[in-house]
Structure 1
Amino acid sequence: MDIQRHAPNRHTDTRIDELEALLDQTAALRDTPIEPSCFSARLLEAASRAAVASGAALWRRGPEGNWHEDSVVGSCTAALEARTTFADAASAKHRILWISPGGRIDAGGPINDSSDWIVVSPTSAGRVLELSLGANAADDRGLLTEVARSFAELAGEFFESRELDLLRRQALHWRRLEAFVAAIHRSRETGPTAYAIVNEGRLVTGCDRLSVTVGRGRKVAAVSGVEAPDKRSDAVVCIGELAAAAVASGQSRWSLRTENDGVVPPRLARAWDACQASSGVKRAQIAVLSDSLDARGRPIGTLVAEWFDEAQTTGPGIDAIADHAQSALANAVHATPGPIGRVTRAVSRPSRLRSLPRTLIVAFILAAAVAALCLWPAEFSVDARGQLRPAVQREVFAPRDGVVRELNVRHGHAVTVGNALLVLTDPSLDLDLEQVLGDLRTARQRLISVQAARTTAPGSGRPADRAVNRSGQLAGEEKEIEERLAGLEKQLQILERERDALTVVSPIDGIVLTWETADRLDGRPVRRGQRLLTVAQPEGDWLLELFVPDRRIGHVLDAHDEFEELKIDYLIATDPAVTHHETLETIALSTERHDGTEPSVRVTARLNRADLGDLRPGSTVVGKIRCGRRSIGYVWFHDLFESIRTHVLF
């Protein structure tokens, strides 16, 4: 900001520059998010320095029209009544007033009883700036008037912007509150109503997280920002405990901080400490919601608002939405469909008490049905799928990577132990053999040459010591070649064994069960460990092989420990009209995945061939393993019980 440079000559440009610097600093401070009280103090300090004032004050008119000091710096020695009158006059006349020592504004008005000049300048925001200047201030009246006007303008701009911000926030608050009220009354079901309360209510209250519990507090119905709260999470458990403790306290409102000044019940204090330790919450507000449709006002839920940064706890808080949420939640609870809603309405409304006998009859029928489900015994069995196969059956696997060069068997061919089933070829193995054989030939020729050189007599004229050295070198080289030959021969033996292993032989006497062997294997590459063929003895004993899902094997194991002998009823897919019966023989000790299905445990039973006739290996079987007698309710709904235990209670 600029000060007009029309002051008397004794004021230098340096003084003007200092004044403009103070104004610029205050103007920069005006545009920052500073608290009004702090800005007022900083502005008065700058104005006092600029005007060389002994004191400065900022006056504000209260709601009842009375003026009071909003902020003061230094010493203002005039009487408070006179200063109040001067501020009111400047505001009414909309101009800067100078009051000399001992002077007054109007006849009969209060006198400036101090030794200072008092300058009062109105602002555009309804405030008045007061400066207490020295006795010689009138000499610089023009400059000081500009100083007072400039600082008053800064104060007016600052407080006008703050008032506009306040109006905007209030308008936004009312818009959000209207949207909140419309959203929470849109549904008459408890779940959607609670969801709307937390997500729309968080915007109104200004909290970081808002939760709604129903009943007496423990059941968390909704949490803001979450589609469905995880009932097992630490945060949800802590919110439920905090709400239950607030309901038990008998007080409808609680405000909790990291350090609570008031008396907090021990249970509520413990729940609050657990919440702080679990999620780091710094502040919380709790509102207990009562049933507005019940004459006794029973609690129907709670609102729990949380802040994680105590410095950001601005906003109207939970009181702004508590009454609206209470009304909407009460309507939803009483309008909830189903038996629970009907019982709630019957109990809470006296006009419905006449229907209680009918309700008791229905309750008796339900109790009888539940008792029958729990007490009536029925046969309990575990379903499983599997196959039929010969008891003696072996899989043939590829010994190493290679290509099927020769296939000697087809589906249904009879084989004996040691029969060559197929022959593999491995180019890398052939290359290794050729290399080792070549190295052997080279080493043997070199050995012959060295041995021949040793047997040749030393040439004439050669010194004796040189002949001895030459003989020693040849002996060492011969020893080295012999060791190399031994190593190469071992390598050759290993490679020959691997080559022999490429001829895959039958491990047992039997018949080849693999279908379309030529299409699957002839001329095709295979990997080490790949299953190539299946050989079995269909004329011997046969097995019933079932794969029990891992989630159900516990029933079979418990029944096996209790009865030792378990019966199996099964159907063969090729003849589903006949039910066969066998006795369980073995249960595998490990779990496996069969043909990519869910994890399962293999169980087997030996078949009675006399009752079955011709059998086909791999025939599909649907079986039931009898596991004793249980209540009919458990037999019908055990899958549901296990799902609830696994996915809900765990």
Structure 2
Amino acid sequence: MSSTEETLEVERARAQIVAIIEEIQRLAGGNTSEAEFFGGLLDRALAAMEAVGGLVWLLGEGGRVEPVCHSRLEYTGIGGSPEAEKAHSALVQAVFNAPSGLLIPPGAQVTGQDGNALAENPTGLLVIAAPFNRGGDRAGLIEIFHHPNQDDVQRGYLLFLEQLAGVAAGYLDRRQMVSLDQQQTALSQVERFSRAVHESLDPIATAFVLANEARRIIGCDRVSVLVKRRRTLRLEAVSGQESVERRASAVQAIESLVRVVARAGEPLWHPDPARELPPQIEEELEHYIDESHATALAIIPLEKPRPTPVVKPGGVDAVAVAKAEAAPRTVPEPIAALVAEWFSSSTFDGSKRARVDLVAEHGKVAIANALVHTSLPLYPLINLAGKSRVLTTARNLPRTVLATLAALATVVALVFVPAELRLEGKGTLEPVHRRDVFAGIDGVVEAVAEGVEHGAQVKDGQLLATLRNTDVEVAIADLLGRKASSQEQ
């Protein structure tokens, strides 16, 4: 082969390498998972180098180096025996901690800075290893098995693999930045949610904000909030709706379901194959799903938060801490309930449950504060005064305060200051015993005895009045007439 042909061959190889690196860089710039990216990187590296096989290792939890992908390991011989696997693991650990990439011929040893042997290549192949970092810390390793070749060719393999390791490091750095950005975005959303849900002390307004803001945090399709009103849980807010139509069958169904779940005292996650529901909950759940067509839902009863022990000058009160952490003797009645629904998902992963629990924790504190605020004495009057802009303007505020204090002072005086009450009126004394007195015969009163008046005292046998009986007079006249007639005869 002439020098010109060799130059052209080198240029073609260099162009091929550049094309492969650019292709891997495009893969790294996309929204790909670690397994997808490193799998594509390994396949392209093996094809470009015409290698036997290879692995990509990443630093996992606990500081262990674990494989994220591999290819054609059955041709490498590292799984032929437990001894070979153990020797290969030691080799990976030694190369992972090396300051740069290494070429390890068959049977060669890797030595440390003190010159002592750390590991040995247990295969009959050339091991080409290139570690890569993430954020300045060692994060992974690309390991390729190749047939031994000339020294300059092997150095070319190592140089190519180190370039791929640089692309892998850039990919991990970008993923770390994206993860940090996502965490920052999530923290900002939670902060805005916390401020919004604690802004109002009105239970209905708090429930409305909780329903709409929680939907964004959880990432579900609908959130409903029920608040305890008149000793029962009532639906007060639904995300995306300005009001609640209480006569709707879906509203009545969700209220019945939540009340049954609240009496049980445990959250409900549906579907949950690991939990067998009581018949009363299962019946209400099926009825509500028929009404709402939800494929997944979570019902979280919101209990009144326990008081936090106050730190005293001498330290935390151990008794108060024990009472706060002790389990309640009875199932506490919830003050509200949070219902999250999905219409296109039927599974609950750890992130979904964590977001629902986070929203529920903030929600129960906000609603509890609002309910305590509205239960204060004279709250309706204070609330009405607070809503009146005329009474609370800067010019009228002193007068409003004075009038309120005067009204309160008047009420207090009427309740606690004793006062003498005197009433005047006319009346008649009535005897304890009353008897009606009648004359022995009928007649007309001709005269009342002197000194006899209404209400006067009298004695037995005293003359009270003189009567004239006309019947007696008629009888006497009749007798006298008969007598005169008899005498004339």
TM bucket (normalised to shorter chain) is: 0.5 to 0.7
The alpha-carbon deviation at position 246 of structure 1 amounts to 2.9
Query: Which residue does 2:132 correspond to in 1?
Result: 123
Q: Which residue of 2 aligns with 1:112?
A: 121
Instruction: Report matched runs for 1:410-559 at 5 Å.
Output: none
Task: Report the equivalent of 1:135.
Answer: 148
- Matched ranges for 1:565-604 at <5 A: none
Scaled by the length of structure 1, what TM-score is found?
0.46
1:173 matched to 2:211: no
Shift of 1:149: 1.9
Structure 1 stretches of 4+ moved >6 Å: 311-314, 338-342
Return the alpha-carbon distance in structure 1 between the equivalents of residues 47 and 178 of structure 2.
30
| Letter of the structure 1 residue corresponding to residue 372 of structure 2 | H
Provide the TM-score with structure 2 as the length reference: 0.59
The answer (yes or no) to whether the contact 1:19–1:50 under 8 Å persists in 2 is: yes
Asked if the contact 1:102/1:113 (under 8 Å) is kept, the reply is: yes
Q: Given the alignment, which residue of 226, 238, 256 partners 2:270?
A: 256
SS of alignment partner, residue 56 of structure 1 = strand
1:308–1:38: structure 2 CA closer, same or farther, 3 Å change rule?
A: farther
Equivalent residues in 2 for 1:398-417, closer than 5 Å: none
- Where in structure 1 are there 5+ consecutive unaligned residues? 1-7, 343-650
- Indicate the residue corresponding to 1:378 in structure 2: none
Residues 1:323 and 2:328 are matched in the alignment: no
Matches within 5 A, 1:26-175: 26-75=24-73, 77-78=77-78, 79-106=84-111, 107-125=116-134, 126-136=139-149, 138=151, 140-175=153-188
Contact 2:91 2:121 (8 Å CA) reproduced: no
Distance change >3 Å, CA 334–CA 86, structure 1 → 2 = same
In the alignment, what sits opposite 1:240?
Answer: 255
Amino acid in structure 2 at the alignment position of 1:300: I
State the partner residue of 2:244: 229
Secondary structure, aligned partner of 1:173: helix
- Give the C-alpha shift of residue 111 in structure 1: 1.1
1:557-581 Cα distance to aligned partner (Å, 9 max, x none): xxxxxxxxxxxxxxxxxxxxxxxxx
Q: 1:279, CA displacement in angstroms?
A: 4.4
Amino acid at match of 1:306: E
Deviation by residue 1:439-491 (Cα, 9 ceiling, x = unmatched)? xxxxxxxxxxxxxxxxxxxxxxxxxxxxxxxxxxxxxxxxxxxxxxxxxxxxx
Rounded Cα–Cα distance in structure 2 between residues aligned with 1:11 and 1:262: 67
Partner deviation per Cα, 1:490-539 (whole Å, 9 max, x = no partner) = xxxxxxxxxxxxxxxxxxxxxxxxxxxxxxxxxxxxxxxxxxxxxxxxxx
Cα separation, partners in 2 of 1:108 and 1:145, compared to 1, 3 Å? closer
Identity %: 24
Partners of 2:103 and 2:154 within 8 A in 1:
no
CA gap of 1:265–1:55, structure 2 versus 1, over 3 A, is farther
User: What CA distance in whole angstroms lies between the structure 1 residues aligned with 2:257 and 2:379?
Assistant: 26
Residue 370 of structure 2 is matched in structure 1 by 332
Secondary structure of the residue aligned to 2:363 is helix
Quick one: structure 1 residues 319 and 53, their matched pair in 2 at CA, closer, same or farther if it must change by over 3 Å? Answer: farther
Quote the Cα distance in structure 2 between the aligned partners of 1:307 and 1:170: 24
Partner of 2:447: none
Separation of aligned partners in 2, 1:66 and 1:97 = 20
Higher relative contact order (CA 8 A, sep 6+): 1
Q: Would the aligned equivalents of 1:210 and 1:304 in 2 still touch at CA under 8 Å?
A: yes
Q: Distance in 2 between matches of 1:208 and 1:336?
A: 31
Q: Evaluate the alpha carbon distance shift between residue 324 and residue 93 of structure 1 in structure 2; reply closer, same or farther with a 3 A threshold.
A: same
Q: Tell me the matched-pair count.
A: 334
Consecutive unaligned residues of structure 2, counting only runs of 5 or more, are 1-5, 79-83, 308-327, 381-489
Q: CA deviation at 1:115?
A: 1.4
Distance 1:331 1:158, change over 3 A: same
- The Cα of 1:231 is off from its aligned counterpart by 2.9
Say which is worse superposed, 280-289 or 266-275, in terms of deviation.
Answer: 266-275
Change (3 A) 1:272 1:139: farther
User: Contact 2:262 / 2:333 at 8 angstroms: preserved in 1?
Assistant: no
Q: Give the partner amino acid of 2:123.
A: S
Mapped contact 1:56–1:74 kept (Cα < 8 A) = yes
1:108–1:250: structure 2 CA closer, same or farther, 3 Å change rule? same
